[in-house]
Amino acid sequence: MSDLGSMYFGLFLLLATIGGAAVLTWFERRLLGIWQDRYGPNRLGPFGIGQVAADMIKLLTKDDWVPPFSDRVVFIFAPTTIVVAMMLGFAVVPFGPDLYVIDLNIGLLFFLGMTSLAVYSVLLAALASNNKYALLGGLRSAAQMISYEVFMGLSLMGVVMLTGSFSMRAIVEAQADLWNFIPQFLGLFTFMIAGIAESHRLPFDLPEAEHELTAGFHTEYGGMKFAMFMLGEYLGLILISCMIVALFFGGWLGPFLPPFVWFCLKTFVVICFFILLRAAIPRPRYDQLMTWGWKYMLPLTLLNVILTGGIALAMKA
């Protein structure tokens, strides 16, 4: 793709992901209502789709209040960090053979780096709020996100060994004969769990557990700043789903339909699966989440690396 084409696609991607995140707030509540046998949004417009506009108007018209006891500059800066980090992560996602912003030979490492930067948003918000509930949420988030980054990175090493490249496009093209979710089932399992914990989505939303910490790290946030945190969370959900499709389910590969349509359909199915997890699984205790990570996730990821390495060496011999 030419530089001009990449620029135009990047602009389209920016608008599409932000718009998709906004619509996802409605779709998630609607789908949860269906799965839990209750009403979802159903008042504004057909199937309640007008709820998206109502939420946006509500958040945009609220007073932009900054607590007098907070660190004003950091308090304002923190919500933008997570949105910027998530948007940069989309730059290396290949939506088709020629549909990407940039094809880096270290694309997978770039993605891991951007997800790591999102930790700073939560920590800065917690520290700048000067609130004990926000601080506890920030400390939880730091331990949770940094711990599960370890497992997220290790879970992808099997894919890298099979492909021989960190390029996202090369990883997708290497799945032409066999999608990675079959030989890398353990890697897919651990990456999905790490992805949920990394984006602190339900049931792993311990950094903002409202039954314990009011709202955790964004207790003092409202209006547009709160909306940016929510936008970052939904962008994270879409990004993790896109990466799962690209790394384990063949990306744009598929018969009959155009490559971009295949990629979007697969991503949609993965997003629905994440929403189903929210509807079906209760929130664990924080100590259970951390215990699960270090006692089970770490051995599983290391086992996957050892098995994949042994099979790769046996195939070359």
Give the per-residue pLDDT at 206: 65
Residue 211 pLDDT > 60, yes or no?
A: no
- Predicted confidence (pLDDT) per residue in 113-163, tens digit: 888 888 888 888 888 888 777 887 777 777 887 888 888 888 888 888 888
pLDDT band at 269 (very low <50, low <70, confident <90, very high): very high
Mean pLDDT of 60-71: 79
The mean-pLDDT minimum among 236-245, 246-255, 279-288 falls in: 279-288
Q: What distance in Å separates the CA atoms of residue 273 and residue 253, rounded to the nearest whole number?
A: 20
The CA distances from residue 312 to 155, 164, 186, in Å, are 16, 10, 16
Residue 91 pLDDT > 60, yes or no?
A: yes
Q: Is 178 helix (H, G, I), strand (E, B) or coil?
A: coil
Of residues 91 and 282, the one with the higher pLDDT is 91
Give the per-residue pLDDT at 36: 81
Q: What distance in Å separates the CA atoms of residue 141 and residue 69, rounded to the nearest whole number?
A: 22
pLDDT band at 51 (very low <50, low <70, confident <90, very high): confident
Mean pLDDT of 247-270: 89
Strand-pair partners of 96: 99
Total-model pTM: 0.89
Q: Which residue has 């004003």 as its token pair? A: 72
Domain limits of the chain?
3-316
% of the chain beyond a pLDDT of 70: 95
Q: Which residue has 């700048």 as its token pair? A: 128
Burial class (CB in 10 A: 0-12, 13-18, 19+), 203: middle
Residue among 215, 182, 1, 206 at smallest CA distance from 102: 1
Backbone φ and ψ for 49, nearest 5 degrees, come out as -65, -25
Mean pLDDT of 283-308: 85
Residue 266 pLDDT > 90, yes or no?
A: yes
Residue 73 CA to its chain's centroid (Å): 27
Q: What distance in Å separates the CA atoms of residue 72 and residue 227, rounded to the nearest whole number?
A: 18
Q: What distance in Å separates the CA atoms of residue 237 and residue 86, rounded to the nearest whole number?
A: 10
Give the per-residue pLDDT at 208: 59
Mean pLDDT of 162-191: 88
Of the spans 7-11, 93-97, 284-288, which averages the highest pLDDT?
A: 93-97
Q: What distance in Å separates the CA atoms of residue 241 and residue 265, rounded to the nearest whole number?
A: 11
Mean pLDDT of 83-109: 86
pLDDT band at 265 (very low <50, low <70, confident <90, very high): very high
Burial class (CB in 10 A: 0-12, 13-18, 19+), 228: buried
Sign of CA dihedral 96, 17, 281, 146: positive
Give the per-residue pLDDT at 315: 75
Mean pLDDT of 190-200: 83
Strand-pair partners of 99: 96
pLDDT band at 2 (very low <50, low <70, confident <90, very high): low
Residue among 292, 296, 295 at smallest CA distance from 281: 292
Backbone φ and ψ for 64, nearest 5 degrees, come out as -85, 85
Backbone φ and ψ for 89, nearest 5 degrees, come out as -60, -30
Burial class (CB in 10 A: 0-12, 13-18, 19+), 299: exposed
Residue 1 pLDDT > 70, yes or no?
A: no
Of residues 229 and 317, the one with the higher pLDDT is 229
